[in-house]
Amino acid sequence: MGFEKFGIVSFTSQTKATPFIDHLERGVLAGTKCKGCGTFYFPPRPDCYHCLSSDVEWREITGKGKLISYSTLIYAPTGFEADLPYTIALVEFDNKVKVFGRLSKEVKDEEIKIGMELKYSVVKLPNDRITYEFKKA
């Protein structure tokens, strides 16, 4: 349990990657680094497919983010209608680590440009839910 707090609507509750939520609660967006071979993963995962180790440490996502692409949704799937319109985005941080998420509504439509610099920000939602979004760096 624990992972059910993640995002606007969650679809799963049990995962060994639940420490992700603990880091988010401290304001940190983290991925996992394999202690066996050093491979870094985002999204985080407790198992390494390179060396088959299941010994990982949690590391913060670092560097300035760069917007790879985005789309603003005018229609939403069931469960997300109240947030419309919202913008989903893929952002690249240090070491080519790409993170998927939403752009903050603070970023105005006319300001959104592929390549723009972004940072992540943890967002606490009602009902003890938690997520992250991207803001202007």
Min dist. Cβ of residue 77 to another protein (A): 4
- 92-107 as b/e: b if 16+ CB within 10 A: bbeeebebebbbbeeb
Q: Which is nearer to another protein, 10 or 54 (CB)?
A: 10
The structure tokens 């752009």 sit at 103
Q: Which is nearer to another protein, 17 or 30 (CB)?
A: 17
Min dist. Cβ of residue 113 to another protein (A): 9
Q: Do 42 and 96 contact (CB within 8 A), yes or no?
A: no
Q: Which is nearer to another protein, 7 or 19 (CB)?
A: 7
| Cα–Cα nearest to 134, from 99, 105, 103, 112 | 103
Min dist. Cβ of residue 14 to another protein (A): 10
Phi (first) and psi of residue 35, to 5 degrees: -75, -20
Phi (first) and psi of residue 20, to 5 degrees: -55, -40
Min dist. Cβ of residue 134 to another protein (A): 11
Binding region for another protein (CB under 8 A) = 3, 6-12, 15, 17, 42-43, 68-81, 83, 86, 88-90, 97-102, 114-115, 131
Q: Which is nearer to another protein, 26 or 69 (CB)?
A: 69
